[in-house]
């Protein structure tokens, strides 16, 4: 399975989920991720589903954002805008971006409120319909990095995180919020991820150090979308 085929399968599942919500005239709340694999997916949805998805019911949020302005090539919002958002007819009010250009602590607080005010709630935490995640080679997901596992159990909705190597500040949703959603999907491609994917999926002892191991669906389902290379050791 190539990354493109994988993205195609995911895109049709996305459209089906969005269709279910639209049928019931319900919002479909989705937290997007950054990363190279999600970028392939967004392009594909932007190219093939412009007309068949009722975009007025779709609300996009971001699971994490780099603290840079939206024009930066590192902006996760910018990536989604360039690959998908400019191709679809979605009301601007349905785009809930993290303001990477603002003060990180203040923005983490503001964005927590924006999520709470625009999603359903379960057990006192926001409930996204779908959270799309990538997986870093160090086992991070969203912007929850190794050594920062407290963000998996934090009671906050959002937090400021720091990339361990570049020291770039990030804003991320926390593990409990991810685990509270209806559908969690990891989208992972490439040989470099094969070892870590195997360790996490097989629940090997060392994998506990990878934040992605702490992502467990509490109320819905968690699906791994892997290309042939990422699945090579399974
Ligand atoms: C980010 C992400 C992050 C990403 C992984 C995988 O903004 O950095 O949201 O969690 O998804 O690092 O990225 P790649 O697919 O580029 O390896």
C-alpha span between 133 and 101 (Å, rounded): 22
C-alpha span between 135 and 37 (Å, rounded): 9
- From 64, 136, 194, mutation site for ligand 1 pocket: most ligand atoms within 8 A of C-beta: 136
Q: What is the mean pLDDT of each run of 10 residues along the chain (234 residues)?
A: 90 96 97 92 94 97 98 98 97 98 98 98 97 96 96 97 97 98 96 97 94 97 96 96
Instruction: Say if CB 186 and CB 134 are below 8 A apart.
Output: yes
pLDDT of residue 1: 86
d(CA 37, ligand 1 centre) in Å: 8
Place of tokens 């999907």: 185
- Residue 8 φ/ψ, nearest 5 degrees: -65, -45
C-alpha span between 6 and 111 (Å, rounded): 31
pTM for this entry: 0.97
- Residue 224 φ/ψ, nearest 5 degrees: -100, 120
C-alpha span between 88 and 18 (Å, rounded): 14
C-alpha span between 6 and 3 (Å, rounded): 5
């Amino acid at each position: 399975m190539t990354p493109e085929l994988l993205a195609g399968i995911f895109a049709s599942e996305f459209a089906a989920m969005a269709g279910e919500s639209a049928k019931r005239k319900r919002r479909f709340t989705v937290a997007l991720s950054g990363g190279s694999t999600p970028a392939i997916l967004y392009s594909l949805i932007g190219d093939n589903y412009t007309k068949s998805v009722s975009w007025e019911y779709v609300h996009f949020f971001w699971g994490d954002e780099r603290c840079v302005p939206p024009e930066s090539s590192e902006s996760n919002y910018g990536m989604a805008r360039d690959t998908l958002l400019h191709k679809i007819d979605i009301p601007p009010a349905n785009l809930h971006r993290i303001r990477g250009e603002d003060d990180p602590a203040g923005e983490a607080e503001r964005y927590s409120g924006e999520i709470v005010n625009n999603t359903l709630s379960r057990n006192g935490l926001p409930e996204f319909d779908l959270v799309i995640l990538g997986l870093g080679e160090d086992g991070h997901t969203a912007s929850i990095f190794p050594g920062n596992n407290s963000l998996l159990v934090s009671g906050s909705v959002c937090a400021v995180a720091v990339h361990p190597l570049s020291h770039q500040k990030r804003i991320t949703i926390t593990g409990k919020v991810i685990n509270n959603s209806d559908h969690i999907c990891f989208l992972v491609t490439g040989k470099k991820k094969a070892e870590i994917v195997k360790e996490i999926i097989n629940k090997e002892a060392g994998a506990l150090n990878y934040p992605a191991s702490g992502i467990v669906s509490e109320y819905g389902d968690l699906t791994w979308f892997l290309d042939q290379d990422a699945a090579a050791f399974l």
